[in-house]
Amino acid sequence: MSTTVQLSRRRFLQSSLGALTLAVTAGGLVTIVRAADADSKKYGADSMPGGTVDDPLVFVSIAADGTVTIVAHRAEMGTGVRTSLPMVVADEMEASWDRVQVVQAEANEARYGNQNVDGSRSMRHFLMPMRRAGAAARQMLEAAAAARWSVSVSEVKAVRHEVVHQSSGRRLGYGELAADAARQPVPGTEQLKLKARADYRYIGKNQVRLVDLEAIGKGQATYGMDMRLPGMVYAVVARPPVVGGKLRRFDSEKALAVPGVLKVVEIPAFQGAPAFQPLGGVAVVARNTWAAIKGREALEIEWDDGPNGGYDSADFRKTLAEASRATGKTIRDNGDTLSVWNGAAETERFAAEYYIPHLAHASMEPPVATVQIKEGRAEVWTSVQNPEAARTAVATRLKLKPEDVKVNVLLLGGGFGRKSKPDYVDEAAIVARAMPEGTPVKLVWTREDDIHHDYLHTVSAERLEAVIDKTGKVRSWLHRSAAPTIGSLFAEGAKGQQLFESAMSAINMPYQIPNVRVETAEVAAHARIGWFRSVANIPHAFAAQCFIAELAHRAGKDHRQFALDLIGPARQIDPGDMADTWNYTESPERYPYDTGRLRGVIEAACQGAKWGRELPKGHGLGLAFCYSFMSYTATVVEVAVDEKGQVRVLAVDMAMDCGPQINPERIRAQMEGGAVMGLSLALTSEITFEKGRVKQSNFHDYQVLRHNASPRVIRTHLVNDDHDLPPGGVGEPPVPPVAPALCNAIFAATGKRVRSLPVGTVA
């Protein structure tokens, strides 16, 4: 990287937040931020609860037989983190991977540092702490060997699970050194000798398979859904069909008559804002899951729908569209967008409106938790993204001290943001409390529960307006977004997107346009709005990336070239120079917006797809790109659209620059998965409400991509791999560019513009 960085020191989260504001991070933390405190703002992992821990004694233990046990402190939901972070430790400590065993940490952020797998932060925040832990362990082993041989530590070297005395050739295995090494002082950070990149054995090498790979293939891996304990009972819950609804009355007689049903337990409705509280309702406890489901069907319940009983997606769509046409709250303002627009000739003005519906996460494993309460302590076995939040929820519910709640983290059958909210764990605690002491309760969500009661991705209307002159220069850009905010989860009645939402691909964009204005409209939430893999980048990038393609078309220019011209030359931008914005909690010095890297992925994706090639009739290539979670992605989609308007995705080329590539094989897996998830939401997925109720219920009406619709070709292009850069996120960044690339491809194939998702068939 040769470009010099000239970064202003503008503070984030400053004036635009006002004196006292609720700030919600994508990690689900709610903090009251005083403007005056903004000066002491911490970045990255330091801003997260628990921060980071790099103590080798916490993460590494070595048995006398040489087995190295490494703690995976973050939950596995499919990104590979349970493998990749221990792999980093093993590499730095020169442990042989075939002699490494991984154990999963229980919830304890004071001990392990932050454990919330959300926000594409695992590698971003824990690469260096894990390297330090591994290097420290290695140096302790070397010091132990040197002491044993009474030689200087500079004469010995750890190599593949042994320490070697270089001149004499003596060697001692890690097992033989374990006890002595554990008594060595832990070296301070400044004494650590981290490996040079050339010495890596596993980092960047694709030598390591998922630790659970074999067990998964044999059906032996244990997910939250698979927990079993002696005497365990099973529960399902009938929840209010409308968010904020309450139980008016219920009759459990018939339910209790169902064979196998043991008990019926009322779950209190939430108070105030929903946050991570259960929705309320009635739990049916039974000998097995099936009996519980049958028992629930036999419940007679009358609900009071409450204030959201009128929520209707068709009406709300109009509300959003209207809001997107009215002046909103300005959150970025450069130049004088309004007068340029007002002064422009009609032929120079261009506006377009986009719509993205609610989406459900629909991880293949629905939410599930097992809780047992015994002798003043609670033990939990569950699949959660945020174990510490689950511990807090259970401790609060049962009025226990957090140290009296043990949360065991099992594998997650997918998460995508849903499982960072531990409402289902809280439900299980409520039911366990109602059962005889010591009864383990497994509380299962069915697929219908999951679709009906998700923390949904928001629904949004996006309006963009631009003035583009005859030469194709974009003179002004207005992006107005109307969408219920995740902030409404934590503050009753919160309206207008939070800064962290607006920042994602709306405020934080680098186009060289002299007049830029970004506005958010104040619209209320009538559902539980949560974060969904890549969050607000989905609607913002969809709109902006389609709009750029539309502008290119108006200008009569090649989309790729037009986009590169709009981005301009390679440079590093402090997002704080765009507006008072949010930089994914990261420091703008470490993580500036690097347009060179953005250009790089666009070029790589286009090259991979052979952009500009001749295509058969009815085929089209579409491009889109995005910067999110400190990584740069670009996607080219190739589609074929037949006479009936059926869209078939033939190929996806996805390029990503996430800085150093720690486990490239898993990065590619995330890119492939992101492409499929992006196509699901683009092509078929939609949650709609009628009378406050979610209309869809299972995979027949909430459709996600299946084998037959999935593109046969997904080419992944990893670019840069610069280990001098701080790591970027991997799990989320692949998603946002997919839907706009698809719609741009459909336009190229048919001349028809799809501005509303899901695409369905092209009319």
Partner 1 sequence: MPQLNVNGQTREVDVPDDMPLLWVLRDELGMTGSKFGCGMALCGACTMHLDGAPVRSCVTPVSAAAGRAISTIEGMASDRVGQVVQDAWIENNVAQCGYCQAGQIMTAVGLLKTTPAPTEEQIDGAMGGNICRCGTYPRIRAAILQAADRLAQGDE
Is-contact 273 488, C-beta < 8 A?
Answer: yes
Q: Who contacts 412 (Cβ-Cβ below 8 Å, separation ≥6)?
A: 75, 76, 77, 78, 223, 224, 363, 365, 383, 384, 385, 419
Q: How big is the site for partner 1, counted in residues (CB under 8 A)?
A: 64
Residue span binding partner 1 (CB under 8 A) among the ranges 46-54, 152-160, 168-176, 211-219: 211-219
What is the closest distance, in whole angstroms, from the C-beta atom of residue 290 to ligand FES in the complex?
12
Backbone angles phi, psi at 210, to 5 degrees: -50, 135
Candidate ranges 78-86, 108-116, 384-392, 466-474; the one touching partner 1 (CB under 8 A): 78-86
Helical ranges in 556-663 per DSSP H: 559-567, 595-609
User: Which stretches within 158-272 are classed as H helix?
Assistant: 174-183, 213-217, 253-257
Rounded CA gap, 212 and 545, in Å? 38
Nearest to partner 1 of 131, 666 (CB atom): 666
Which position's Cβ is nearest ligand FES?
364
Q: Is 672 in the site for partner 1 (CB under 8 A)?
A: yes
Burial category of 373 from C-beta neighbours within 10 Å (exposed 0-12, middle 13-18, buried 19 and up):
buried
351 binds, among partner 1, ligand FES, none (CB under 5 to 8 A by kind): none
Question: Which residue in 598, 503, 510, 508 sits closest to 560, CA to CA?
Answer: 598
* Torsion sign (Cα): 670, 674, 676, 677: positive
DSSP H helical ranges for 248-288: 253-257
Q: How far apart are CB 364 and ligand FES at their closest, in Å?
A: 4
Which residues ranging from 365 to 384 are in contact with partner 1 (CB under 8 A)?
365-366
- Is 29 exposed, middle or buried, given 0-12, 13-18 or 19+ CB atoms closer than 10 A? middle
675 contact, one of partner 1, ligand FES, none, CB 5-8 Å limit per kind: partner 1
Comparing CB distances to ligand FES, the nearer of 529 and 705 is: 705
* Smallest distance from partner 1 to CB 677, Å: 6
Question: How many other C-beta atoms can be found within 10 angstroms of the C-beta atom of residue 729?
Answer: 25
CB nearer ligand FES, residue 321 or residue 669: 669
Which region, judged by CB under 8 A, interacts with partner 1, from 10-18, 114-122, 179-187, 708-716? 708-716
Query: Which C-beta is closer to partner 1: that of 14 or that of 710?
Result: 710
Rounded Cα distance between 744 and 657, Å, is 22
Specify the residue, 252 or 446, whose C-beta has the smaller distance to ligand FES.
446
What sections of 478-587 are H helices per DSSP?
499-502, 537-555, 559-567
- The verdict on 207 binding partner 1 (CB under 8 A) reads no
Which of the choices ligand FES, partner 1, none does residue 714 contact, using the CB cut-off of 5 to 8 A by kind?
A: partner 1
- Compare residues 25 and 663 and give the one whose CB is closer to partner 1: 663
Of 273-302, which residues contact partner 1 (CB under 8 A)? 287-290, 293
CB of 288 to partner 1, least distance (A): 4
Nearer to ligand FES, 56 or 78 (CB): 78
Residues 458, 535 contacting (CB under 8 angstroms): no
Q: Which stretch binds partner 1 (CB under 8 A): 71-79, 330-338, 402-410, 425-433?
A: 71-79
Identity of the residue, 323 or 704, whose beta carbon is nearer to ligand FES in the bound complex: 704
Q: Contacting partner 1 (CB under 8 A), which of 56, 80, 576, 726?
A: 80
In angstroms, give the least distance from the CB of 698 to ligand FES: 9
Closest CA to 367 of 438, 462, 442: 442
Which residues sit opposite 359 in a β-bridge?
Answer: 457
Give contact residues for ligand FES (rule: CB under 6 A): 78, 364, 414
Q: Specify the residue, 36 or 215, whose C-beta has the smaller distance to partner 1.
A: 215
Residues 285 and 371 sit within 8 Å (Cβ to Cβ): no
CA–CA dist 243, 528 (Å, integer): 7
Q: Which is nearer to ligand FES, 78 or 119 (CB)?
A: 78
Decide if 633 contacts 655 (C-beta within 8 A): yes
* Contacted entry of partner 1, ligand FES, none for residue 220, CB cut-off 5 to 8 Å set by kind: partner 1
φ and ψ of 163, to 5 deg: -110, 130
Token pair belonging to 648: 């078939």
Give the dihedral sign, CA 598/600/606/612: positive
Largest separation between any pair of C-alpha atoms in the chain:
85
Determine, following the binding rule CB under 8 A, whether residue 729 of this chain makes contact with partner 1: no
Nearest to 657 by CA among 624, 612, 626, 611: 626
| Two tokens, residue 525 | 């939430």
Q: How far is the CB of 535 from partner 1 (least distance, A)?
A: 17
Question: Which x/- pattern, by CB under 8 A, does the window 687-706 give for partner 1?
Answer: -----------xxx---xxx
- Told to check if 707 binds partner 1 by CB under 8 A, we report yes
Q: Which of 169, 198, 218, 375 binds partner 1 (CB under 8 A)?
A: 218
Does 257 help bind partner 1 (rule: CB under 8 A)? no
Residue 155 near partner 1 by CB under 8 A: no
Please answer whether residues 56 and 138 qualify as being in contact, where contact means their C-beta atoms are separated by less than 8 angstroms. Answer: no
Give the residue, chosen from 142, 162, 212, 574, that forms a contact with partner 1 under the rule CB under 8 A. Answer: 212
Among 29, 182, 352, 669, binds partner 1 (CB under 8 A): 669
| Site pattern 622..661 for partner 1 (x: CB under 8 A) | ----------------------------------------
- DSSP letter (8 states) at residue 23: E
Q: Does 611 sit near partner 1 (CB under 8 A)?
A: no
H-state helical runs in 19-80: 56-59
Sites for partner 1 among residues 433-492 (CB under 8 A): 444, 446-447
399 binds partner 1 (CB under 8 A): no
Name which of 737, 754, 742 is nearest 602 in CA terms. 737
CB neighbourhood size of 531 (10 A): 28
Residue 342 C-alpha from the chain's centroid: 40
Structure tokens given for 41: 């703002």
Nearest to 584 by CA among 549, 630, 635, 542: 630
Return the DSSP state at 504: I
Instruction: Give the residue with the Cβ less far from ligand FES, 131 or 294.
Output: 294
Q: Is 61 in the site for partner 1 (CB under 8 A)?
A: no
β-pairing verdict for 68-72 and 100-104:
parallel
* Beta carbon nearer to partner 1, 223 or 303: 223
Tell which one of 416, 584, 591, 625 touches partner 1 (CB under 8 A). Answer: 416
**Spatial CA neighbour of 386 closest among 412, 349, 363, 352:** 412
Should residue 708 be labelled a site residue for partner 1 when binding is judged by CB under 8 A? yes
416 binds, among partner 1, ligand FES, none (CB under 5 to 8 A by kind): partner 1
Helices (H), 225-368: 253-257, 289-297, 313-325, 337-343
Q: For partner 1, which residue of 711, 727, 729, 736 counts as binding (CB under 8 A)?
A: 711
228 binds partner 1 (CB under 8 A): yes
Q: Does 98 bind partner 1 (CB under 8 A)?
A: no
Q: Smallest distance, Å, CB 447 to ligand FES? A: 7
Beta-carbon contacts of 196 under 8 Å, excluding residues fewer than 6 positions away, are none
Which residue number, 179 or 364, has a Cβ lying nearer to ligand FES? 364
Interacting residues toward partner 1 by CB under 8 A:
76-80, 209-210, 212-214, 216-223, 225-226, 228, 234, 259, 287-290, 293, 362-366, 411-416, 444, 446-447, 665, 669-670, 672-677, 698-700, 704-708, 710-714
